[in-house]
Amino acid sequence: MPVRLVDASGVEWEVWELAPRPVLADAPPTPRFEAAMHDGGSWLCFESATQRRLLSRYPARWHAMLPHELEALCQAARPERPPMASAARAGRAW
């Protein structure tokens, strides 16, 4: 279940764990999940109306953290690349 966070700038974020789907053994990993597989297999995802950020190393009890602690994790997370133009035209934000 996502956690809602409003940062000091007033930006509203949804926060949740994102784990890669199992793939066939001979299928190459997708680039953005490749690092996560080496760091434990999941990401902490922060998503606002205009941005998505991913964090591969985070506390197991992140969902019980105080808002200012979650905001620090959000600031440490790396921004995800914006969606491709074709996805935006199709009406998919991410």
Query: pLDDT tens digit string along 31-40?
Result: 554 444 345 6
Q: Which domain holds residue 16?
A: 3-89
Domain assignment of residue 13, yes or no: yes
Helix ranges restricted to H, 1-94: 31-38, 67-76, 85-89
CA pair distance 76, 69, nearest whole angstrom: 11
Q: Which two three-digit tokens encode residue 24?
A: 């066939």
Residue 94 falls within a domain, yes or no? no
Report pLDDT for 86.
Answer: 46
Q: How many domains does the chain have?
A: 1
Residue 76, SS3?
helix
Indicate whether 69 belongs to any domain.
yes
Query: Cα(58)–Cα(44) distance, rounded to whole angstroms?
Result: 7
Please name which of 18, 90, 84, 9 lies closest in space to residue 48, comparing C-alpha atoms. Answer: 9
**Banded model confidence at residue 17, pLDDT cuts 50, 70, 90:** very high
- Output the six-digit token pair for 36: 């996560």
pLDDT digits (tens, 9 = 90+) for 40-93: 678 999 999 999 999 999 999 999 999 999 999 999 999 987 655 544 444 545
